[in-house]
Structures are given as structure tokens and as C-alpha cells.
Structure 1
């Protein structure tokens, strides 16, 4: 009788163990879970666009800031001077263009008047040449005086000189137009320099591009800031994520939009909901393999027990608590792959 009871108890225990094992397997298949997870948020390095000394920094490390808040200001005086210099250059070019244009207009007027007289001047030169050609043979025959021949030569030279003067005036007017065009091109360059100077002056004030929290602030007023060199980091607190590393054997049932539950190690009593935002398609193996353009480096030894590789799954949190969520904080993630 006692033996029968022991056998029955053992059977009950085995059945309970089997049921528990089946439940665990079912839960693992329908709700994969991992504690290899951490909190993540998008971050940017705040860097100035121009060089200069910081004269104002109304923020401190770990401070919460809003979009458009002033983060720091660089001494604007060199850039104000550059803007004034560019503006003065443009004003000078405008005056020079105006004066040159007046001169060109006068030359054009003279050239137009001269052009109207070129035809008659050309005819007069031809007539004076013909008259001189007729008088010169008559001088030797005594039918014309030397004075008349000299007057004919003078008339010819005068007519040719007048014609050349009118042609030169036309050329000068054309050259004057080219000079104005060159000055207009310089004016376009000066206008571009003004726009650049205004942009650099605007860059002396660095403002928050989004709501966030400052991190790793290690500078103060008086520090010289170099363009492109980070001053601190700004964490985007409008969206929080948890990066959960799941085994590759569990990825077949994980898709974008899969519902998730997340707990933070800092406070396991609060549950956060979310969904899968994306699944990683590549990692760097730690078994010696080489990816990319090189050939795989396969180890000579074989491990009989092969550990499944883990791939990051990015979970977007729907109801984050800014007081608890910190970049890099440990988390536990559970996915609901099946209803």
C-alpha cells in the first residue's frame, strides 16, 4: 500500500514537472524574453559652425532643454566686423558702377552722334582725296597753285582724322560697357560674401534642435570653441528605445510592430509597453570571422556545443518615464510573438 502511494506521488510529480516544462517551452516560444537589454536614445554631438570664444553658456550638465533654447553663444564681434566690411565693399562697388555707367552713357551718346556722322565724314574724306588727286597733276602744268594743293592735302588729312576719331569713340563706348559688366560680376560676389557673413553671424548662437537633455558638458564661458569640434552631447528625450539582444533562433517569430513589455533594473515594479521598431541585419561576430570584402576566417577547431548568436532588436517605448530612462540603463524585455 505504501509502495503504491509512493508510485502515485512520483507519477504526480513527473506529470507536474512535464506540465511545467511544457508551459515554459510554450512561454519561450510565444513570449521570448531577455535580460540582455539596455536603454537607448538618439544623440547628437553639439558643435559650433564657426570658431570663437564662448561668451555665454546658460545651461549646465544634465539639464533638460527645449527646442530653440540657447545652448551657448560665441563672441560675435569678428563676424559683425566681417559683415560690415562686406557691406562696405558692396556699397563701394555700387557707387563705382554708377559712376562708370554715367561715363559709359556719355560715351554711348557721343558714339551714337559720331556714328551718325561717320557716313558723311567718310564721304568727305573720299571727296578730299579725289580733289587732291586732281589738283596735284595740275600743279606741274601751272593750272593750280601750290596753296590750293596744300589746302587739299589739309582737307584730306582733316577728313581722315575726323573719321578715325569717330571710330575710336565707338570703340571706347564698347570698352566702357565691358568695364561695367566686370563691376557687376564683382557686385554679385560681394553680395554672396554678405550672405556668408550673415550666416556666420547667425551661427554664433547655438540653439537646441529638439527637446532633450544635456550630457558630458565639460566646458565653460571663456573656452575657445573650434568649428566642428563637439562641446557636449544632446540626448533626444522625445523618443526612447530599448535595445534587446535575442537569440537568432527566436527571430523567426519577431517582426516590426510586435508588442513588447519592458522593465528597467532601476525600478522593476513599473512595466512599460512598446513595440518592435526594427531588427538588426548585421553584427560583428566574435568567433574570429571576417566580414566585408575579406574572406571568412573559419576556425580549425569545432565546438560540439554551438551557442546561438544574438541580434539586437530595437523596441520603441510608448510610455517612457524621463526620470527612469537613461541611455545605457539595464532592462528586461519580453515580446508577444503570438496572441
Structure 2
């Protein structure tokens, strides 16, 4: 041990006596050896953590999407409500037309029926004929009376008031007999479609009693029953859109013609009695007549067909129908 200590002391002394450049070189060589011993880091394996800002956007995206969806639903609901206010509609509507009852103006025996059920006819077409024999006989008798009255009114008595009255009376009788003979032939008064025919040859037709209906096809309209809360914006002259259940893929155009001055319940045979104790308030409906504007190529209308009507209250109306 004393020898080792003695050997270390000269080494330490030599180290102290060494020049500074040699010491610095030894230190640098040791540092390079330490750096070589460390493992090299792979630059491709380095994982950089996401920025805090991108993490916040990812977390808030579902909330932002929900907010946008809510705003879209609110906007769509408001648009629908606004459109329904300006365009009131109802499906309580039915197609209507004038129905002409075909009835004889004189009584007689039916000998011929040309009317066919649901057939289309033109104005002037012969529908029913009555036995003309009684009317022809009555016409001959009336003409004979007229001839006799004219023969009696000869000479000085021709200018007398009595003779003139007899002639006028006989002439009126002949005209009436001729008119009844014409009425024995029943013709179609308008263009239209024949309804249910119940008369047959051999039946007795009575004056004023309807034989069958004839639907006048010259004009069609829709009776739409709107709620009373919609009438403030509906007036005559406004444009309307009509869809009929018979033709769901076809859209018809029309125009408001008139608004009823009373509700449908007011015109019923048994009006509601609202003075009772169990009264319940219900929204009343008022008939609104919408004239159909038919175009060439439109389907043939059917009276009584269900329809849906939408009125464009933004269009200009005459203002007379909402009174």
C-alpha cells in the first residue's frame, strides 16, 4: 500500500505539470466516446402530441352540428308556418256543377226514351217522346174553333167586340194546343251528361215531375269549406290550386268566386242549439266557391269528387267575396 501511494503521487504530479492543451484534448476525446456510446434516436418514430386548439375543435364538433340542425329545423318550421298562413288550404272540398232536372211540361204517355245513362248529349238532342196523338187531336179541335170563329165574324158583325174576342180566344187555344204538342218531345236544354234514368216506355209522365237529371258541363266549381280563422285573408278573385282525388297526379287551377255569408251549420235543416249548458266551442267552416279553369286536355270532371284546395292570398283579389 505505501508503494502504490508513492506511485500515484508522481502520476498526479505529472498530470499537474502537463500542458493545458493536452488536458483539453483528453477531455474532448472522453466526451466523444460518451456520445458514441449513446444510442441514436430515430427521427421517424418521434410522435408529436396534437395541438390543444385542434383537440378543442374536435370536441365541440358534435355540439356545433346539433346547433346547426336545430336552427335548420326551426327555420323550416317557420317557413312552413308562414307559407300555410299565406296559402290556407283544406281537403274538405267537393266538385260541383249545375244539375238540370229533366221534367215534361205536360203530362202524357212515354213512348220513346233516347236518353242513355251517363251518356254525353248536346243541347237540342231528343231525350224522351210522349204519345203525340192526344196533343194532335187537341190541336185539330183548336184550329177548327179558330176557323169557325173567323167564319162567324163576317159582314157587319165582324167589327163587333164580341166577334173579335171570339177570334182571339180561338187563336189562343190553337197556340196552346200547338205548344203542348211541341212539349211532347223533350229535348236536352244544355250540353251535359245524363244521370240515372228511371223512366221507361209505357210510363206515365206528369208535368213538372223529374224523369232524370242532366249535369251541365259548361261550368264546374269546387265548394271548399274553409275554417273561419282563414276567411280574413280569402277574397274573391284570388288564385287557387286544386287537386282532385280522382286525378292525384293532375293539378287544376281556379279562382275564388264567392265566400258564403253564413257557415254551413247555419244553412242546415237542424241548426246547432248553442244555448244549452253542455256547449263546446268548435271552429266553424264557411263554404268558399272556387271556379275551375279547365283547359284542353284536362280530365273529365265528376260531380261530387273529393278535392283539396289551396288559395294564394298573396294574389290580388276583388275584395267583394270576403264581406
| Conservation of the 8 A alpha-carbon contact between 2:264 and 2:285 | no
The alignment partner of 2:253 has SS state of: strand
Q: Deviations over 1:154-199 (max 9, x none)?
A: xxxxxxxxxxxxxxxxxxxxxxx8xx43233222111111111111
Distance across 1 between alignment mates of 2:167 and 2:148: 9
Distance 1:33 1:285, change over 3 A: same
- The equivalences for 1:75-154 within 5 A come to 75-98=131-154, 101=155
| Conservation of the 8 A alpha-carbon contact between 1:52 and 1:75 | yes
- The equivalences for 1:10-49 within 5 A come to 10-49=66-105
Distance 1:289 1:201, change over 3 A: closer
**Structure 1 residue aligned with 2:250:** 270
- The equivalences for 1:177-188 within 5 A come to 180-188=160-168
Which of 294, 313, 320 pairs up with 1:337?
313
Which of 110, 118, 125 pairs up with 1:54?
110
Residue 216 in structure 1 maps to residue 196 in structure 2: yes
Larger radius of gyration: 2
Which segments of 5 or more consecutive residues in structure 1 lack a partner in the other structure? 106-176
Q: CA deviation at 1:254?
A: 1.1
Q: Deviations over 1:224-270 (max 9, x none)?
A: 11100000001011111111111111111111111011111112111
| Conservation of the 8 A alpha-carbon contact between 1:65 and 1:212 | yes
**Structure 2 residue aligned with 1:261:** 241
| Conservation of the 8 A alpha-carbon contact between 2:264 and 2:286 | no
The alignment partner of 2:153 has SS state of: helix
**Structure 2 residue aligned with 1:167:** none
Distance across 1 between alignment mates of 2:69 and 2:177: 83
The alignment partner of 1:220 has SS state of: coil
Distance 1:302 1:233, change over 3 A: closer
Runs of 4+ in 1 over 6 A off after TM superposition: 288-291
TM-score normalised over the length of structure 1: 0.70
| Conservation of the 8 A alpha-carbon contact between 1:289 and 1:296 | no
| Conservation of the 8 A alpha-carbon contact between 1:266 and 1:324 | no
Residue 226 in structure 1 maps to residue 206 in structure 2: yes
**Structure 2 residue aligned with 1:202:** 182
Q: Deviations over 1:256-299 (max 9, x none)?
A: 1110111111121111111111111113438x9987xxx97423
Distance across 1 between alignment mates of 2:298 and 2:117: 16
Residue 315 in structure 1 maps to residue 290 in structure 2: yes
The alignment partner of 2:236 has SS state of: coil
Residue 298 in structure 1 maps to residue 275 in structure 2: yes
Q: Which has the higher helix share?
A: 1
| Conservation of the 8 A alpha-carbon contact between 2:115 and 2:197 | no
Distance across 1 between alignment mates of 2:93 and 2:273: 29
Which segments of 5 or more consecutive residues in structure 2 lack a partner in the other structure? 1-55, 316-323
**Structure 2 residue aligned with 1:151:** none
Distance across 2 between alignment mates of 1:203 and 1:313: 38
CA RMSD in angstroms, aligned pairs only: 2.5
By relative contact order (CA 8 Å, sep 6+), the higher-ranking structure is 1
Distance 1:319 1:219, change over 3 A: same
**How many residues were matched structurally?**
257
Distance 1:246 1:50, change over 3 A: same
Q: CA deviation at 1:7?
A: 3.2
| Conservation of the 8 A alpha-carbon contact between 1:93 and 1:186 | yes
**Structure 2 residue aligned with 1:242:** 222
